[in-house]
Amino acid sequence: METLTQWLHERIPVSGAQLRELTNEPVPNHMKRWWFCLGGTPAYLFVVQVFTGILLAIYYQPSSATAYESVEYITNQVSLGWYFRSVHKWGATMMIAAVILHQMRVYFTGAYRKPRELNWGIGMCLLLCTLGLGFTGYTLVFEQLSYWGATVGANIGERVPVVGGLLRELLLAGPQYNEHTLPRFYILHAAVLPVCLVLLIFIHIVMLRLHGVTELRFEDAPPDQPTHFNFFPDHLYMELILGLVLMIVLSALATIVPATMGPRADPLTTPEVIKPEWFFYVTFRWLKLFGPTFAILSMGLILFAMFLWPWIDQLLRKVPGWDEASVYIGIVAVFVITGLTVWEAVVAH
Amino acid sequence: MTHSDPPRDADAECPAGGPPAGPEGRGDPDRRRFLSSVSGVAMAGGLAAGYGTFAALAGRYLHATGTATAWMYVVPVAEIEPGASLAYDSPAGLKIVITRRSGGSQDAAPSASDFLALSSICPHLGCRVHWEPHHNRFFCPCHNGVFDPAGQPVEGPPKADHQPLPTYPLRVDNGLLFIETPVEVVGQDQSAHAPGSTAGMGEPGRHRNKA
């Protein structure tokens, strides 16, 4: 055994003490509250998505002639195919929800402030990547929603100033959806975006470790309580419990509400009632409310402001009496986003 | 360092025949710095040019040729009265309404501009509009765009940016009306719509119905 340890140590020259130093960063005490563990949740769900995604890719055939039938085959013929497809679908929903909740937590606790502005920007890129994965994911089934979602998405891209036309043509492999389009969405979903996500998660975590977790104090915390606890094993156990609970919830949802198949894509007919996945309800309603130029440019502007929010917040706080302005703006934004989402959910048009 | 390889410190060992160690042998420090900078910039420029060319080639590779279209024979122009319409089924399965604008003289030879072939592709974000006879309008179910029978936007986002329904190109040759449409629609069973040898020259009236 000692020989083996020696052999390993020669090839992986890291000592136990160095490993402990790497992993055992003191974690602020507020992280014992579950609400503050949301950062690890999307990362865990991403691993679930990679695993189930690889399983689905084994049978999936990314071409407009075969995609729908292959998803139907996975759902109805392959042993437990329905289960893995449903876990993948619910995992996507939960991953997006977890990213949004994590971002809300960071926003409302002001954890994006100096010196963590850049990590907020990385987090925004992670949000966009996750939404991109959600969007490209549902284009792959080649049901009606897939086809019209891809068409609408590419046409939104066309409105991007200067490069919009090129962007749309690159995405659709031509001026409109054709037989070369679906493989592009597949490559984006299964290769390009996951790789971007892995790199961004790595940078996000490195930045987090370099700065340390933002420390928060609560009024109800006992004064004699230690301010920190060990990452290993305390926090690791919390994450493991979270992972276990998520797996149970995912399995239950996948079994009780499994993923279904909509009608096959028909490029000649847009269905009378068509809606994207829930996470795009807000943009879908926004596009109904305003003309395309204003709607798309305003969405771009909102995204740009979100990226720059740490600096905008810094400016706002310099105005006397506006210390909490970001919180109130955040509350209004949450109400508007929730309101538009519910509105889109409850009406046919 | 635990391994037994010899040290690789260049300053520690100067190979025989290498530059002399004296300060005068190392050359002018400014010149060395200049040459070092120039070579650094040249290498960076070379890399940028190389990978830039590579990216441009990749861009060309990704830029697909697009959807094929073809000119299709529709009907002799004399068969459509001013103000009348006909429903044309393209070989790819598209249902297109072609209208002859009213107001022109029937005696004069009509040109392509006397006809209107509305596309059902919504100019807003590309969904298909459908005709609602009870409302006498075209309606887009994606974002609630509404168009009048002439394809003009009357409600919803297309009205805000004044986006009428697009039209298919038409051509009149020797008194015959032709239309340019896509020859295939993705994901469809092409055999169901295959024009075969009649593509572009099908029998008159084969894909048309009097409205």
User: What ipTM did this prediction achieve?
Assistant: 0.84
- To the nearest 10°, the Cα dihedral for B16, B18, B21, B23? 160
Pick from A176, A177, A291: which is nearest to B157 by CB? A291
Could you report the per-residue pLDDT of A231-284, keeping only the tens digit for each?
A: 777 788 888 899 999 999 999 999 999 999 999 999 989 999 999 999 999 999
Do both B156 and B99 map to the same domain? Answer: yes
> Is the predicted pLDDT of residue A72 greater than 80, yes or no?
yes
Do both B179 and B108 map to the same domain? Answer: yes
Residue B5 lies in a domain: no
Comparing B6-20, B33-47, B166-180, the range with the smallest average pLDDT is B6-20
Do both B30 and B88 map to the same domain? Answer: no
Return the percentage of chain A with pLDDT > 90, whole number: 72
Comparing A125-129, A224-228, A290-294, the range with the smallest average pLDDT is A224-228
Pick from B159, B160, B186: which is nearest to A177 by CB? B186
Find the domain containing B31 and state its range: 23-62
Residue B10 lies in a domain: no
**Domain chopping of chain A, boundaries:** 29-215+228-270, 275-349
Could you report the per-residue pLDDT of A51-69, keeping only the tens digit for each?
A: 999 999 999 999 999 999 9
Residue B165 lies in a domain: yes
Give whichever of A55-69, A165-179, B10-24, B65-79 has the largest mean pLDDT: A55-69
A305-326 burial: b if 16+ Cβ within 10 Å, else e: ebbbbbeebeeeeeeeeeeeeb
| Chain B CB contacts of A179 below 8 Å | 186
Do both B84 and B187 map to the same domain? Answer: yes
CA distance B121 to B205: 24
Per-residue pLDDT band at B206 (split at 50, 70, 90)? very low
Could you report the per-residue pLDDT of B45-101, keeping only the tens digit for each?
A: 999 999 999 999 998 888 876 677 899 999 999 888 888 888 888 888 888 889 898
Q: Is any Cβ of chain A less than 8 angstroms from the Cβ of B165?
A: no
User: To 10 degrees, what angle do helices A117-139 and A144-158 make?
Assistant: 140
- The whole-number pLDDT of residue A213 equals 80
Could you report the per-residue pLDDT of A211-236, keeping only the tens digit for each?
A: 888 777 777 777 777 777 777 777 88
| Residues 47-106 of chain B whose Cβ lies under 8 A from any Cβ of chain A | 59, 62-67, 93-95
**Among residues A199, A195, A196, A174, which one has the least CA distance to residue A184?**
A174
| Chain B CB contacts of A287 below 8 Å | 124-125, 143, 157
The tokens for A137 are: 């994911």
Pick from A265, A269, A271: which is nearest to B187 by CB? A265
| Chain A CB contacts of B185 below 8 Å | 267-268
Q: How many structural domains compose chain B?
A: 2
The answer to whether residues A94 and A246 touch, using CB atoms and an 8 Å cutoff, is yes
Which of A146, A270, A344 to mutate against chain B (most B CBs within 10 Å)? A270
Per-residue pLDDT band at B197 (split at 50, 70, 90)? very low
Do both B193 and B167 map to the same domain? Answer: yes
- The whole-number pLDDT of residue A230 equals 79
Q: Is any Cβ of chain A less than 8 angstroms from the Cβ of B151?
A: no
Do both B124 and B188 map to the same domain? Answer: yes
Do both B86 and B50 map to the same domain? Answer: no
CATH class of A29-215+228-270: mainly alpha
Verify whether the Cβ–Cβ distance B126 to A152 is below 8 Å. Answer: yes
